[in-house]
Amino acid sequence: MKVIGVGFGRTGTTSLKMALERLGYGPCYHMFDIVEEPARIGTWIDAAEGRQVDWDRAFQGYGSAVDFPVAAFWRELTARYPDAKVILTVRDPDAWYDSATRTIFKKALRARRLSGGIGLKLVSWLAPDLAAFVKMTDTAIMRRVFAGNVADRRHALEVFDRHVKDVVAEVPQQRLLVYDVSQGWEPLCDFLGEAVPGDPFPRGNDTRTFEQEERERVRRLIARRR
């Protein structure tokens, strides 16, 4: 593991994934990989519930990792890979919350409503991968990071601000890049010691794209039945 992205989802993590892969730090582990390979879900449930995890096995074949749920376990991962460089993606907090509310929080709140009673039992029977994914996002992200309270804007913004401050305080300065993807290639390449590519910096997963692709990802999880 050469690079660990510890920024929350909706801070440009998809763009960072694409940029890291363009610079030769791929494949880059992202939430997308968990959806495509649901066998990975158990790793994060185990980690969230305090069971031992073989991180080397979980990230075998990957050169970097970004996005949730990676960011929820940033302390464990930066300790496990002490030579990896750390990138904290940031953006305006209010813009982050607005984006998250339209995307990842919207999905999580819907999943939480599903997680009780007959609904989850039915989904567990019809689409076990989707049920496991719902459990993973709830335990490893919503509860672990946000104490289950993403609907409260003030609380979520406090969590976001505290996360940034904690990372800056705990990760050695020479190992850390605090980075807004709108800055483009230069700060990232300077930090990694790479030449700046001639092609434009990648932009991925805006809100509209997220909604379209999320429907397809859910469809694939549902389609994987026992």
C-beta neighbour count of 195 within 10 angstroms: 9
What CATH number was assigned to the domain covering residues 3-223? 3.40.50.300
Domain ranges for the chain: 3-223
**Residue 226: what pLDDT?**
46
- Are residues 4 and 87 in contact, defined by beta-carbon separation less than 8 angstroms? yes
Compute, in degrees rounded to 10, the torsion defined by CA atoms 13, 16, 18, 24. Answer: -140
Give pLDDT tens digits along the chain (226 positions): 999 999 999 999 999 999 999 999 999 999 999 988 999 999 999 999 999 999 999 999 999 999 999 999 999 999 999 999 999 999 999 999 999 998 888 866 665 555 554 455 555 445 678 788 888 998 999 999 999 999 899 999 999 999 999 999 999 999 999 999 999 999 999 999 999 999 999 997 655 555 655 666 656 655 655 4
**Does 200 sit behind a cis peptide bond, omega within 30 degrees of 0 on the bond before it?**
no
- Are residues 117 and 221 in contact, defined by beta-carbon separation less than 8 angstroms? no
**Residue 79: what pLDDT?**
98
**Residue 43: what pLDDT?**
97
Task: Kindly report, residue by residue over 38-68, the tens digit of the pLDDT.
Answer: 999 999 999 999 999 999 999 999 999 999 9
Distance in angstroms (rounded) separating the CA atoms of residues 62 and 17:
12
